[in-house]
Amino acid sequence: MVEDGRVLTAEMTAALRCPVCHHPLAGQIGLKCPRGHSFDVARQGYVHLGTGGRMPSGDTAEMVMAREEVQSAGLFAPLEEALIQTLTRAAPAARLIADLGAGPGRYLARILDERPEAQGLAFDVSKAALRRAARAHPRMGAVLADAWARLPLADGSIDAIVNVFAPRNGREMRRILRPGGVLIVVTPTPVHLGELREAAGLLDVDPAKQERLSATLAGFTPAGDQTVRWRLDLMADQARKIIMMGPNAFHGHDRAVPIVTHAEVTISTWTGRPLPSRRADRGAAR
């Protein structure tokens, strides 16, 4: 049983689909489809809807902890505020919001704080992240699923998708987004954390990232973007945690010194026509 008694709401469950046969799921503490495939909600509060013999492992517990500490310190607060404002303008009536690659769920939780009528589904492959996402907000459900595979969601079931520094499966995003829904993507610009990256010898940001994003989201229509830039006066431990919360953690970069650096990201908004529905997905959430 889930430790704090939390279950997926009826609205969340109605949007979910069996990852094996793609039929609707029912239940709260445990989920089951009409063909008998069943899925338990872990005692930490997330439901495992991944398939296949081997799934990506995602962020480690150390990476998740570093991210939580950075976000809790307010170092990425300007991004949180800009994301909330963008979603408010683009999708003021969105009631079910999915964060694909949600990590510990901070961004989605902040969005839900400002939208008392909305509910959220946080998707990730990291169990360490989902343990925290499951408790990040009372109106958030946490689901383990591979973003590169078919997502366990019904066609047209999601009002708005948020994707922050995470993988993007454009075809699946189009499939699950309802007609008139919006996708909001956050990507780093080439100068993001430039001073820190140069001082610590970190990985560069691909200068063609926006071009690759447009190719990935073929079928979507760009509806506007903005650049958000802010200054970070980092103590050595804060700089190390920023390094450790991202892909540089896999490359042995864990040393840092006090430094002033600048964060810079692009927040882009997209709309798009849905893909043709498949029979097993009919009868989506609403």
Q: Is 214 a domain residue?
A: yes
Alpha helices, H only, the chain:
10-15, 61-72, 77-90, 106-113, 127-133, 170-176, 194-200, 209-216, 236-244
- What range does the domain containing 113 cover? 52-272
* Owner of token pair 């990852």: 19
Q: Is 142 a domain residue?
A: yes
Structurally, the chain folds into a number of domains equal to: 1
Q: Is 33 a domain residue?
A: no
Q: Is 213 a domain residue?
A: yes
Q: pLDDT tier at 284 (50, 70, 90 boundaries)?
A: very low
pLDDT digits (tens, 9 = 90+) for 186-232: 999 999 999 998 888 877 777 777 788 888 998 999 999 999 999 99
Q: Is 46 a domain residue?
A: no
Residue 181 pLDDT exceeds 50: yes
Q: What angle do CA 254, 83, 221 make, to 5 degrees?
A: 110
Residue 282 pLDDT exceeds 70: no
Q: Is 240 a domain residue?
A: yes
Whose CA is closest to 83, among 210, 269, 272, 231? 269
DSSP-assigned beta bridge partners for residue 98: 121, 161
The CATH number for 261's domain is 3.40.50.150
What pLDDT score was predicted for residue 286? 41
First-last CA distance in the chain: 28
Q: Is 79 a domain residue?
A: yes
Using CA atoms, how far apart are residues 34 and 38, in angstroms rounded to an integer? 9
Q: Is 47 a domain residue?
A: no
Amino acid at 119: Q
Q: pLDDT tier at 273 (50, 70, 90 boundaries)?
A: low
Whose CA is closest to 245, among 137, 130, 165, 135? 165
Residue 241 pLDDT exceeds 90: yes
**Residue that wins the pLDDT comparison between 275 and 286:** 275
Q: pLDDT tier at 1 (50, 70, 90 boundaries)?
A: very low
